[in-house]
Structure 1
Amino acid sequence: MSVVGSLAVHAEESRPGGAVLRGDSPDVAVRCAAVFAWLMTELAEVDVAADPPVSGDAVCAQAAERLRRANA
């Protein structure tokens, strides 16, 4: 993500075909919202087990344990 003026800009990989929607007009927003709604509908039934959140302390402890084992 990049910040351009007051906008946060995120771009995906450019792929051949299709059309680039530029600007921030209501028409562009409606078209993007329609694609997003379709995507969320398609993904509604996907069940993915999320990794539990890991704290910084846990990451440090895991790294220390790996280092200890590697030097044992």
Structure 2
Amino acid sequence: MKINWREVFKFLCGAAFVGAFVNLYLWAHNIALPFFGWIIQPWFLGVRGVVGIFLCGLFWWLGWGRKV
């Protein structure tokens, strides 16, 4: 079975988009996130949001942007 990598990158683009904006929302409203007994601070959620935006752009380019 052959994997259609363009479709995989399209899916990852959507997942990165949603994850990035959830993290940025939590950062913007200064909400700490409990995670298995640890607390993820809002500044770290902001960093994760920025990284997610970058990954969303990369996956968008790999899924839709470039010509094959």
Q: TM-score range by the shorter chain?
A: 0.3 to 0.5
Q: Which entry has the higher C-alpha Rg, 1 or 2?
A: 1
Q: Provide the TM-score with structure 2 as the length reference.
A: 0.34
Q: Which structure has the higher relative contact order (CA within 8 Å, separation 6+)?
A: 2
Q: Provide the TM-score with structure 1 as the length reference.
A: 0.33
